[in-house]
């Protein structure tokens, strides 16, 4: 784990394992530790490069930044470590960044895994869901809001209470707002056909943040993409159906 000067700011980057490079990108409000269970399994076969996105974790937190900044960060991390091509894994916000990277430098991404993605959005999915249920959330703090929204984001809300950390944030309200602002008004649909990477798109049937219809759009526009809808998952299939999820990704990366 080290702070590296990347694209004008300090990013907290963690590298584990040896083998073909695999870049992992977490969701909004979190940090790379959200993906710790995946990293521990992948590191036996891959050189895993996981990092705290700008505005998150131990990385610098500018007051304003964009999705394009996130995209450049990934490419400059690859440049820093002299990685010409890599596989890329992104979940939720990480899947938006992954699409952006694969569009900007299609020849540099070998395999692409988009977990619970969307191809476009006027606002972050978290903000949209909170706005849709504003009456139900009135007067609640963020932790209480997440508890209420679990039923819209997961197949088994009670089970997902054990993994609340993937939905919650350690960011201040101002930092969390900046993180969400970076995800507003993006639309990759016209550029997704530029992606050359073999792509796996995974959605959860019960995901109210980025429903399967959003994943299907991504898969339909990426030339070499496979779409999978997990039947007993919402926005966190790596925790809701972990064995099936990991086998699917392992098979995809190794074959």
User: pLDDT tens across 58-89, in order?
Assistant: 999 999 999 999 999 999 999 999 999 999 99
State how far the Cα of 158 lies from the Cα of 95, in Å rounded to an integer.
Answer: 26
Residue 81's pLDDT is what?
Answer: 96
State how far the Cα of 253 lies from the Cα of 251, in Å rounded to an integer.
Answer: 6
Q: Is the pLDDT of residue 1 over 90?
A: no
Whether the full predicted model's pTM is greater than 0.95, yes or no, is yes
CATH number at residue 212: 3.40.50.1820
Residue 172's pLDDT is what?
Answer: 95
Residue 2's pLDDT is what?
Answer: 87
Backbone angles phi, psi at 32, to 5 degrees: -65, -20
What tokens were used for 219? Answer: 């898969």
Write out the residue range of the structural domain in which residue 81 sits. Answer: 2-254
The string over 72-107, giving b where at least 16 C-beta atoms fall within 10 Å of a residue's C-beta and e elsewhere, is bbbbbbbeeeebeebbbbbbbbbbbbbbbbbbbeee
State how far the Cα of 160 lies from the Cα of 147, in Å rounded to an integer.
Answer: 10
Q: Into how many domains does the chain fold?
A: 1
Residue 255's pLDDT is what?
Answer: 83
Give 158-174 pLDDT, tens digit per residue. Answer: 999 999 988 999 999 99
Q: Kindly indicate the confidence band of residue 112, based on its pLDDT and cuts at 50, 70 and 90.
A: very high
CB 118 within 8 A of CB 192: no
Q: What percent of the chain shows pLDDT beyond 70?
A: 100
Q: Kindly indicate the confidence band of residue 148, based on its pLDDT and cuts at 50, 70 and 90.
A: very high
Residue 253's pLDDT is what?
Answer: 96
Residues 6+ apart with CB under 8 A from 136: 148
CB 88 within 8 A of CB 197: yes
> How many Å is the Cα radius of gyration of the chain?
17
Average pLDDT for 211-232: 98
């Amino acid at each position: 784990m080290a702070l590296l000067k990347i694209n004008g700011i300090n990013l907290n980057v963690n590298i584990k394992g040896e083998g073909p490079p695999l870049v992992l990108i977490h969701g909004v409000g979190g940090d790379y530790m959200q993906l710790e269970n995946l990293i521990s399994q992948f590191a036996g076969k891959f050189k895993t490069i996981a990092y705290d996105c700008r505005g998150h974790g131990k990385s610098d937190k500018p007051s304003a930044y964009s999705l394009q900044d996130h995209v450049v960060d990934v490419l400059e991390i690859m440049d820093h470590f002299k990685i010409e091509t890599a596989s890329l894994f992104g979940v939720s916000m990480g899947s938006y960044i992954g699409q952006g990277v694969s569009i900007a430098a299609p020849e540099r991404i070998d395999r692409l895994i988009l977990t619970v993605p969307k191809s476009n959005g006027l606002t972050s999915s978290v903000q949209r869901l909170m706005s849709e249920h504003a009456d139900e959330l009135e007067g609640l703090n963020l932790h209480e809001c997440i508890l209420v929204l679990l039923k819209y984001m997961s197949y088994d809300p009670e089970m997902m209470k054990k993994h609340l950390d993937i939905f919650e944030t350690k960011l201040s309200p101002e930092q969390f707002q900046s993180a969400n602002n970076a995800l507003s008004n993006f639309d990759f649909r016209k550029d997704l056909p530029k992606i050359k990477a073999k792509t796996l798109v995974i959605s959860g049937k019960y995901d109210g943040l980025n429903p399967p219809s959003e994943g299907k759009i991504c898969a339909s526009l990426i030339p070499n993409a496979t779409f999978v809808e997990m039947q007993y998952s919402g926005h966190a299939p790596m925790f809701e159906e972990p064995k099936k999820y990991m086998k699917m990704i392992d098979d995809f990366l190794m074959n």
